[in-house]
Structure 1
Amino acid sequence: MLKEYKNILVAVDGSKESEQAFKKAVQVAKRNDSVLYIAHVIDIRAFESVSSFDESLAEEAAKVAKETLDSYVDYAREHGIEDIHCLIEYGAPKTVITKQLQKDYRIDLIMLGATGLNAMERILIGSVSSYVSRHANCDVLIVRTDINNKLLEKEKKKK
């Protein structure tokens, strides 16, 4: 029996990997006649290192995120998706995705791009995709290939 996904969340961060995850999420949402949630989580911890935190930094990050999400909505509509929700959230992406968004929107599939972190970075900070895959209470799809199922350049280099 095939699982039908009704509420799909794709987390995007501006990377090529997350763009590929988004494009695949559009395909999955279309096949399942699902609601598509496109989320960008602004990690405010990144601003902590700025000695004089200015609220305009977060506002600028939100503006750039909104522009990206708007272009993603256009793409999704062009590919037949009508029920699309854009989410811009603030906090630690790992927990916002697995604890807040999954619960608030009854997500039954989370799609993420594979990270480009090297082994040392994964040990020190961990990757969002690996955290989500371990802690989510729903199915998680980590996208490592493009729309034609060809490995992304970063994945090829790892091999």
Structure 2
Amino acid sequence: MALGKQFKHILVAVDDSNLGQMALVNGIHQAREDNAKLTIISIFEKGQLNVFDFFSKESTTAAEDDVQRALKRYREMALENGVTDVDTRIAEGKPGEVIVKDVIPAVKPDMVVIGSHSQQGTEKYFGSQSSYVANNAPVTVMIVR
């Protein structure tokens, strides 16, 4: 029987939805199993803010600070669960495109873990974004349901 691939660097895309959190749990598990580096990314979608918050520097900064605080919690969770090399990043834009066109070339992971869809409503975070990543990423993609 052939052995599964051992990954060296796993990128996990996370938000605060249930599936985003499941992607994180699966990314942590895989990184621990493979003794791999784990990079956790959240995508800040400024376009999802309401018009008042979009044009308010204070509101935009507060929203970005919330994402940074969440990333810090996610990093601590990974470290507490045995992953020794953890990095966090925040990016801005349409998640699927940003992950494929910007993040993967910069981070150079050999696996991406992403939720199949995310928060209720209009493709708030992943939705069809996971399909975009799976179809366009040059590396292995795990889609978590």
| TM-score scaled by length of structure 1 | 0.79
**What stretches of structure 2 of length at least 5 have no aligned partner?**
none
2:82 to 69, 80, 104: 80
> Structure 2: how far apart are the matches of 1:82 and 1:98?
25
- 1:60 maps to 62
Moved over 6 A (4+): none
- The Cα shift of 1:129 comes to 0.8
User: 1:101 touches 1:107 (CA, 8 Å); kept in 2?
Assistant: no
> Structure 2: how far apart are the matches of 1:65 and 1:117?
15
| TM-score scaled by length of structure 2 | 0.86
Q: Give the RMSD, CA atoms, in angstroms.
A: 2.2
> Structure 2: how far apart are the matches of 1:29 and 1:126?
24
Pair 1:46 & 2:48 matched: yes
Which digits, 9 at most, give the CA deviation of each residue in 1:115-144, with x for residues without a partner? 1588xx67xx96211111111111110111
- 2:98 maps to 96
**What stretches of structure 1 of length at least 5 have no aligned partner?**
145-159
Pair 1:140 & 2:141 matched: yes
Count of residues paired in the alignment: 140
Alignment of 1:11-50 (within 5 A): 11-47=13-49, 50=51
- 2:129 maps to 128
